[in-house]
């Protein structure tokens, strides 16, 4: 994204673009060092790092190609059902999916259907962007939610490629930032032929910032199918847990795992055989998480190392991607992370669809509408600190009938909404037909 420092110093759109392109070009040594550092930190795949420089690692198939850019895991998950539908209805289409995170790459490897394939998005440096576009030559570019990279957007548009913003959303903080550079925002948003917004609030924000042809299509996440789970793995984990009371902290962020460990220590005084499962948002942090939990005096078993759950295990750390569907099925109580820290929360729908009571912190701006619906229906609990989370989890564990009732309400509240997917497909039809007629 555009650095905030630029937004405060320069409000002239051509000047800002020139500076941005100059910095991303002249800053090559720094960018190279940053990529090396990210490899060391596990935030990049070393074997595929050339993709970040715009160098493809696979052949481009013949025929029309739709490029879908989904920034990270959440956005990638939300478009899977759309990709499946697209391929089913338009079998001549090839789908290129780009993301920028290792976890989303793992998900795409496991769950992308045939005719769809994954590459890492190039760093937004003009030379690398041109190399990427020269090779892939997309017939249509679809950007998911709100990540706006200037060079990628402007260069794709300059080549005459139709562009769509799918499931468009602008948070309050992002809206405030973009209003400071409204001319630039308008220039970037003008590259989109069509903006499909999640809700009326985002639609109005896009309009104020200068977007055209905005349609409110709804949140595509509500059309997603329940997360999958391997049947044999489910039986295996259920056998290893036995009849122990348990709860799950899903998609946790840095510092939240320590809070979860402290919650476990509080509850275990009343429920001595409690098992707490933690599935961090970024599994590559597992070593730091284990260290922090052991400092709390807790015994941790790591799933990635095939460590067994014993009667002494306090925390089972699910440090592998793509397994939330499995663990939402073994518990009725799910705390959703990114909400006790100022991140904006993670996806509540996935747990609700699999009949979990939802607990989350006060920071849920990324999923505020869904959080409000669950809260109004009595299917979720908002917790502001360690003590509140411990009290809520303990109450649900000792009152399983209440937990089951809330879980049923959660699933009923978050029913699959096929109308959103239908609306998206309907509005994209003219652009898709244009591709097929030109082929």
Q: What is the DSSP secondary structure assignment for residue 138, as one 8-state letter?
A: -
* Nearest in space to 375 (alpha carbons), one of 350, 351, 410, 338: 410
Please state, in angstroms and rounded to a whole number, the distance separating the CA atoms of residues 158 and 16.
Answer: 18
Among residues 45, 50, 51, 75, the one annotated as catalytic is 75
Q: Check if the beta carbon of residue 331 is closer than 8 Å to that of residue 246.
A: yes
Six token digits for residue 121? 């998005």
Strand partners, 99: 120
Q: What is the DSSP secondary structure assignment for residue 399, as one 8-state letter?
A: -
Please state, in angstroms and rounded to a whole number, the distance separating the CA atoms of residues 404 and 379.
Answer: 10
Q: Check if the beta carbon of residue 274 is closer than 8 Å to that of residue 264.
A: yes
Q: Check if the beta carbon of residue 138 is closer than 8 Å to that of residue 96.
A: yes
Please state, in angstroms and rounded to a whole number, the distance separating the CA atoms of residues 188 and 168.
Answer: 14
* Nearest in space to 146 (alpha carbons), one of 225, 51, 71, 93: 71
Q: Which residue has the tokens 């391929």?
A: 87
Angle 400-245-298 from CA coordinates, rounded to 5°: 140
Residue 75 appears among annotated catalytic residues = yes
Active site residues: 75
């Amino acid at each position: 994204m555009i650095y905030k420092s630029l937004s405060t110093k320069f409000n002239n759109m051509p000047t800002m673009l020139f500076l941005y392109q100059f910095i991303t070009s002249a800053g090559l040594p720094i960018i190279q060092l940053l990529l090396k550092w990210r490899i060391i930190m596990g935030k990049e795949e070393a074997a595929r790092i050339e993709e970040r420089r715009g160098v493809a690692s696979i052949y481009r198939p013949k025929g029309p190609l739709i490029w879908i850019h989904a920034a990270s895991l959440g956005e990638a998950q939300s478009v899977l059902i759309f990709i499946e539908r697209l391929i089913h209805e338009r079998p001549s289409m090839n789908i290129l999916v780009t993301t920028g995170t290792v976890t989303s790459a793992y998900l795409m490897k496991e769950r992308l259907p045939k005719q769809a394939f994954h590459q890492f998005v190039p760093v937004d440096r003009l030379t690398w962007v041109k190399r990427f576009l020269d090779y892939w030559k997309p017939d249509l570019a679809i950007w998911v939610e709100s990540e706006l990279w200037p060079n990628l957007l402007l260069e794709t548009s300059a080549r005459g490629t139709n562009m769509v913003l799918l499931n468009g959303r602008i948070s309050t903080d992002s809206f405030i930032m973009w209003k400071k550079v409204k001319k630039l925002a308008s220039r970037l948003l003008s590259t989109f032929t069509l903006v499909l917004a999640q809700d009326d609030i985002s639609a109005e924000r896009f309009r104020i910032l200068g977007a055209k042809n905005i349609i409110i299509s709804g949140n595509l996440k509500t059309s997603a199918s329940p997360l999958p789970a391997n049947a044999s793995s489910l039986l295996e984990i259920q056998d290893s847990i036995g009849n122990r009371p348990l709860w799950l902290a899903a998609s946790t962020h840095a510092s939240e795992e320590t809070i979860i460990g402290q919650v476990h220590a509080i509850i275990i005084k009343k429920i001595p055989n409690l098992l707490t499962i933690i599935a961090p948002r970024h599994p590559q942090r597992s070593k730091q998480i284990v260290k922090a939990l052991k400092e709390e005096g807790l015994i941790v078993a790591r799933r990635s190392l095939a460590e067994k759950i014993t009667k002494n295990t306090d925390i089972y750390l699910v440090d592998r991607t793509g397994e939330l569907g499995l663990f939402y099925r073994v518990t009725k109580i799910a705390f959703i992370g990114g909400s006790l820290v100022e991140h904006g929360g993670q996806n509540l729908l996935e747990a609700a669809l699999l009949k979990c009571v939802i607990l989350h912190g006060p920071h849920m701006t990324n999923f505020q509408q869904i959080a409000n619906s669950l809260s109004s229906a009595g299917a979720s609990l908002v917790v502001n600190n360690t003590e509140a989370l411990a009290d809520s989890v303990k109450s649900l564990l000792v009152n399983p009938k209440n937990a089951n009732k809330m879980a049923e309400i959660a699933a009923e509240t978050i029913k699959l909404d096929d109308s959103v997917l239908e609306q998206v497909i309907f509005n994209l039809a003219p652009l898709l037909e244009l591709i097929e007629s030109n082929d």
